[in-house]
Structure 1
Amino acid sequence: MFTIKKANLLFWIFLFLIVLLQLSLSSSPNFTLGVALIHAVAIVLILRVHVYFLNVLIKKYLKTHDTAGFIISALSISFATSILLTAAGYFITIGLLADANLLENELISMFCGMLLVSILIAGMSYSIELFKQNIASEKRHQELRNSVLEMEIDHLRTQLSPHFTFNILNNLQFLIRKDQDEALELLSRYSKILRYYVYESQNKWIKLDDEIAFLKHYFELEKDRSGEDLEISCQWDIPENTLLIIPFLLSTFVENAFKHVSSFKEKKSYIQLHVFLKDENQLFLYIKNASGQQVSNLKKGGVGLKYVKKRLELSYKDNYELELIPEVDSYSVRIKLNLTSV
């Protein structure tokens, strides 16, 4: 992974090579590669110290937002660095080259060039530090947003549709008087759902096979309590796999379909469900139910749908597609998830 530290290292290596190349091409015949190497090392080391003190100043002034103070201090440090660079160049040239003779105008030209380089590096250091702080700030904000979403999800996850539980209990009360065997079967399925909820609700990821098994129990439970007036069809095409999914994601769409299905006098009401895998890791769920006047209410989106959207955004980001299709006499939901393996 390409990081700021690696970019910083590459910058100093590149700067050293540029300085070395420039000095090696000097017009002086006695300016050997060894002298150029010593001079280049001295320049890079002085500039590195220059950047160190600049970073100390930048962090100090960014906290106080005193930009004017930073500019004055940065110019002062750049001026001092330019003097050091010019002095280093002068003494290395005079000390290592016997016939060297630097004129006053050459020293002034060298000083101006070093001052320009020092100021440019000061500006670059300031920009890089601002960039790093912005990245760190954005990371903190993202972590905070994720924490808030996680708290909201944990809160919503503790609410396994109380009205659904009340409906089950009401059905049990009715069935106990009418058909005790059917009531026991309904209670058995409901206990499996609750057991799964208790043990898996704290996990962020679970096996897809476990979620599908839970969804089948949930679908059959809703089917049993809906009566014979509803035409229900379901298809499960999930081969053996090692995929993972967040728990209780798909059951919201099943619950909404049964909750909002409309009854028609002239034709049969229906719910159609198809869950299948494609290309090994793409999970599709398509559910369609007869729907009438409640379509306008569904467009607004209830708590359950908002909850699902938040969980999808938090856990899958760009790896999901959710399509809600309201029509005149039906309502469809299509969801696609790109899942990962164990």
Structure 2
Amino acid sequence: MQEMKNENSEMPADFDNEIHKWALECIGRVALDARLGCLRPDLPKNSEPQKIINAAKYALRNVALLELKYPFWRYLPSTLWRKYVSNMDYFIEICMKYIDDAMLRLKNKSQSVNETELSLVERILANESDPKTAYILALDLILVGIDTISMAVCSMLYQIATRPEEQEKIHQEILKILPNKDDKLDASKLEKMVYLKAFIKEVLRMYSTVIGNGRTLQKDMVICGYRIPKGIQLVFPTIVTGNMEEYVTDCKQFKPERWLKQSSDYIHPFASLPYGHGPRMCLGRRFADLEMQVFLAKLIRSHKLEYLHKSLDYKVTFMYAPDGELKFKMTERPTS
């Protein structure tokens, strides 16, 4: 990030794309056991990783338009539909190469190999008896892992940069656990960063990156007196329920402390479900949590974040995230 800063120590206007590169590199390393080279400073705009990012962003941010509007495209393919299909075809074509490689590695590994030694995709392939389903799950993990996590991190950074008191609390907590800049960050130390994790939960409650969870009814249901037929898609709007006073005490107040064990604040267990719930909850929940926690812990340990421009509004695309250029000022903290 040092190379990206301008003379005012600010990140470039397209910093969100750098976050997307980081997210793709992470998902490649952990899910596919492959280094994709996304973090190279000389990565060209027409590179394969950048094309994967562009395809994933286009697909996710336009699927709602295709789903929610009247589906004329079913009868007369529209420009939006054709471009959507083209992007998804490219995304699938490239990602299938990596998934096929994972399948080949899995076949060549010993039957006695420990599951912890497998990548996420290898675990899916190993535990799913139907190869077609395994491939779909793997593709879904990669697709959502690129854009959703990136937008969540952008939201986290904006909230940290515009909330100096909370940022200082996070920094002090990290300093106690990692007093020296070269200290290793492992699972046991991450577990102690309770305020950092509470901050992440509070951002996801008030500004849920995924605005809701959709499910297609498998049978007719009656909900609140309304009969809803089989086949209709229902959306549980976590962005709404997480900001309702009847479910969250002082819901309009940003208060990470509400998530700490000693807090007496009421919050309904289903008020905030950023990853969904039940058998179909997000496959990569644990990975996403760890990814954000590690990134923020390392960044706040070494840098102070500020946002010195006009406040940004949040906007709904497929995700809910700050709408504008994320030109954060990042100042290196004194080393110790």
TM tier relative to shorter chain = under 0.3
Q: Is the helix fraction higher in 1 or 2? A: 1
Structure-1-length-normalised TM-score: 0.26
Higher relative contact order (CA 8 A, sep 6+): 2
Structure of larger gyration radius = 1
Q: Is the strand fraction higher in 1 or 2? A: 1
